[in-house]
A and B are shown apart, each in its own frame.
Chain A
């Protein structure tokens, strides 16, 4: 039986993503999950998942306000809040430690102010926070702190799968037939299959198609903007300030590129910052040529799914209208924006809306790679790389962050540095399959020597890459480590879809060093429940 809710009471759902965060609430008038548009209708309803601390004011900013202020002095900018939550990391500012849950509390309390703007009498009965699995594990540990400090009467943490399940339940999509879920995100196009059996929803993660991710498309458009500028200005190397301007242009032109493609018109690009300012025209044929490979790969993957008629489309990538061109009956597109935030709202209001209990399981666990990271100051090893673009490599290295990984997807390159430590390198494969991955984990932002485009270059890597393995559910990885000059050994894991690592265990070598033992065997065993056991044994010389 559907009940009602007083007009000042709010059941709120929050979807915290790596790029953006959305908030919704249960409409008091019709008990429907409703997105709260934090832009007031001017642009995206969501806000960036970023925060900024102003040292002089000792205050935090979140979202667009933080992003637009990123260049201010005496501020600390956290551009990957979700990353902090996933890894349980903290930030130290002027000697004060802000743990990941404290950061989240600050972010959420400011977010909830948006509800009070639209209704100053608002009482937030419940806030349901939906996050990915990795972040969920860490947040659950801090649930008491969250309940104490978040300005709501109740706080619930759920996994994104449950939010998706709730939304499917609400839309009566829990039928006997399996439903394909295509989640077109920044890092990848993710494919899941959902099936409902014996009162349980099974969501099986089939694959991630990183080469189709919005990030890849964004980089293509960025490359276009850079090429036009270089050609017009007759230069090979673009200065830093111009690069910054072009980065800013990218936000707008990413949207216009697809707008013009949808309209079948040429794109005019205006370089207002240039001296003198100029404009260039990219015709529709050029735009289509840029996208042809991605569009072909996408069609091969998705057309059979669309023909089946049983699918849900999620994610910001589906804003690009070309992604729906091959769907014949457009009025039947089962496209749902903001599935996760709406699902979170529904989880909070399930009794009011009359949703039955729902169990959700994730099947075909996202492949987890495990590895051993050795930080070694003295040892050097080299590998050879082919660079495709000087600029990209430079940018990647300069940021020394998540961007590093992003820049190198699909390029099959390592990167060069003479500073240390560097971290783990794994081969990247951009198509689906259980092959091993290539990531670079960086620990500092040191600028490396220049890498020349198009040439094979010797690379110096300060850290030793230890043996890596890919484990579906369970297995063993074994390696031998010469510890004479080793600083730290850590065992790490990374989901295939993740570009960062979670440290499972840091192994102390002190005992071995005291005993003048120079080689150890390190065996890492992962059981079917994901429990990791690490054993070390000294080895004779």
Chain B
């Protein structure tokens, strides 16, 4: 069963069973949220993971505990709060490692980031089963940052599969798109509006500028006209600045450096750093007690001191906003053209964020804080899943707000590693800024070799260039594809250099994953194509080998 199967049942047969669940998941660096389509309320409903106590976002923290012969995995709030007792085996911010070749080692085993992430996703999805033991998930959309690279996106899908979700029912959505969707269903958007989504979370800053292209009929069309931000530029980075300050204070008072501090106290300091930052969003001055130090002491800090401490970070954030305006897909966007700035993400509530934006846009009244920055991404993901399944067209559903068609653009250049005169270089195939719907390009390769084996093998390396001007060694690997035993008709009659292979790269419209296809083109009129064509999905950490019979 896949999306189309359920969509047909919903749209054509008008069915929407009681036990069917459409899910949206915001898999965040700091917190994760799961939401589902509530049939009674005709809108997404985030699930309260605290069973009634309104603590909806769940900390994206996983902990491995071993006591004697017993081992267990703990996820969420409990893992966060007991970090101090299990500092070595508590993992937070695993999202930052997705797609990387990192491992976590404990309990005599190695765990890749997607395995850890799967535990978070499973814990969220289990709530659906807790609510309804007969539940059937008919579609799940998971959010990813806009500039997650291909490997990170694929690792996210893998995590969902490991969590027990069917890969035919998983789809990814870029976070700014989800935020725009959630906003659209709350406030009416107008044609020609240019909206900046400033999504400032724990791990990343995503800046996306949308233009409302049309609002005809029952749908609105939005186009991404610029994107920016940075992967490792979030609230967690601010925590690091604060942590350094805390360690400096301890050193000044006691002479002790970080290595002299017990692991459990280091964990406590990490929690203190986060609390410190959150408190200074509300008050102008706080007292920071160091009760585990002997003798205990306390320090005071004002909001001004804090903003001075993070001034470099603030400056960089400003630069990222200006860059997103400057590097629009259709040219520079003037600040005055932006009609609305939507603040999303927990870190956007810090007072300096608004001040910084006002200094660029000279207009406070265009800055809207989201009503529920903690929940918007999950809500938007659920709307997207519901739209995909045709739920919003269902006769019984009456939802305010129009359906949204997105024209999202490719965030980074995608291309091949080519050998030009023995010098490796990046050959761009799909450029940044290309709409996903048009993101498809082919390259013809010529097969050469002296042996049959050489003549029936093709090795290609697919890369993602994150910034213009990056050299090939800075590009991210999307994957190696090794195609062997190409069924080249009439070999060995076809001499070397007389076989053309067409390799096509494309971005999936939903989620922007890179996929490809290789096809034999024969050789001009001399040799006909033998009609072989095969698709592939490149993966970073495993070379894809296509053996063709």
Which A residues fall within an 8 A CB radius of B?
7, 29-30, 36-37, 39-45, 54, 57, 59, 61, 64-65, 68-69, 71-73, 117-121, 241, 252, 255-256, 258-259, 262-263, 268, 270, 272-273, 275, 277, 279, 318-321
Chain A nearest Cβ from B401, distance in angstroms: 8
Hey, which chain A residues are within 8 Å of B31, CB to CB? 42
Q: Which of B317-375 contact A (CB under 8 A)?
A: 346, 349, 364-375
Hey, which chain B residues are within 8 Å of A54, CB to CB? 284-285
Binary per-residue interface labels of chain B (80-114) against chain A in the complex, 1 for a CB within 8 Å, 0 otherwise = 01101100000000000000000000000000000
Q: Which chain B residue has the least Cβ–Cβ distance from A261? A: B51
Hey, which chain A residues are within 8 Å of B279, CB to CB? 65, 68-69
B287→A42 contact, CB < 8 A: no
Selected A-B contacts with CB under 8 Å, 20 pairs: A29-B188, A29-B401, A41-B33, A42-B374, A57-B285, A65-B279, A65-B282, A68-B279, A68-B282, A69-B282, A120-B367, A259-B53, A263-B51, A268-B82, A270-B84, A270-B85, A277-B84, A318-B52, A319-B53, A319-B54
B369→A117 contact, CB < 8 A: yes
* A-B contact number at CB 8 A: 121
Hey, which chain A residues are within 8 Å of B286, CB to CB? 68-69, 72
For the complex of A and B, list the 8 residue pairs with the smallest distance between their C-beta atoms, beginning with the closest: A65-B282, A41-B374, A41-B372, A319-B52, A41-B375, A120-B365, A117-B369, A262-B51
Hey, which chain A residues are within 8 Å of B374, CB to CB? 39-42
Asked whether any CB of chain A lies closer than 8 Å to the CB of B46, the reply is yes
Hey, which chain A residues are within 8 Å of B373, CB to CB? 40-41
B285→A120 contact, CB < 8 A: no
Chain B nearest Cβ from A126, distance in angstroms: 20
Q: Which chain A residue has the least Cβ–Cβ distance from B400? A: A29
Hey, which chain B residues are within 8 Å of A57, CB to CB? 284-285
CA–CA, A258 and B279, complex, Å: 27
Asked whether any CB of chain A lies closer than 8 Å to the CB of B268, the reply is yes
Asked whether any CB of chain A lies closer than 8 Å to the CB of B256, the reply is no
Hey, which chain B residues are within 8 Å of A263, CB to CB? 51, 130
A40→B55 contact, CB < 8 A: no
CA–CA, A277 and B33, complex, Å: 31
The residue among B81, B186, B287, B291 with the most chain A CB atoms within 10 A of its own CB is B81
- A41, A68, A118, A272: the one within 8 Å of B283 (CB): A68
Hey, which chain A residues are within 8 Å of B349, CB to CB? 40
Chain A nearest Cβ from B197, distance in angstroms: 15
Which B residues fall within an 8 A CB radius of A?
31, 33, 46, 50-57, 77-78, 81-82, 84-85, 130, 186-188, 264, 268, 279, 282-287, 291-292, 346, 349, 364-376, 400-401
B186→A29 contact, CB < 8 A: yes
CA–CA, A119 and B407, complex, Å: 27
A320→B52 contact, CB < 8 A: yes
Hey, which chain B residues are within 8 Å of A7, CB to CB? 187-188
The residue among B52, B268, B286 with the most chain A CB atoms within 10 A of its own CB is B52
- A30, A65, A270: the one within 8 Å of B82 (CB): A270
CA–CA, A272 and B263, complex, Å: 12
Q: A29-B186, A120-B366 are in contact. Are A36 and B264 (CB under 8 A)?
A: no
B84→A43 contact, CB < 8 A: no
CA–CA, A536 and B283, complex, Å: 52
Hey, which chain B residues are within 8 Å of A252, CB to CB? 81
5 new A-B contacts at CB < 8 Å, known A37-B372, A69-B286 = A29-B188, A40-B372, A42-B346, A68-B283, A118-B370
Hey, which chain B residues are within 8 Å of A279, CB to CB? 82, 85
- B81, B84, B282, B375: the one within 8 Å of A61 (CB): B282
CA–CA, A325 and B42, complex, Å: 26
Q: Which chain A residue has the least Cβ–Cβ distance from B379? A: A41
CA–CA, A270 and B400, complex, Å: 46
Hey, which chain B residues are within 8 Å of A45, CB to CB? 54
The residue among B285, B287, B368, B376 with the most chain A CB atoms within 10 A of its own CB is B285
Hey, which chain B residues are within 8 Å of A268, CB to CB? 78, 82
Q: Which chain A residue has the least Cβ–Cβ distance from B187? A: A7
Hey, which chain B residues are within 8 Å of A42, CB to CB? 31, 55-57, 346, 374
Hey, which chain A residues are within 8 Å of B77, CB to CB? 256
The residue among A69, A120, A320 with the most chain B CB atoms within 10 A of its own CB is A120
B54→A44 contact, CB < 8 A: yes
Hey, which chain A residues are within 8 Å of B81, CB to CB? 252, 270, 272
CA–CA, A252 and B51, complex, Å: 14
Q: Which chain A residue has the least Cβ–Cβ distance from B354? A: A117
Chain A nearest Cβ from B14, distance in angstroms: 22
Hey, which chain B residues are within 8 Å of A275, CB to CB? 292
Hey, which chain B residues are within 8 Å of A71, CB to CB? 287
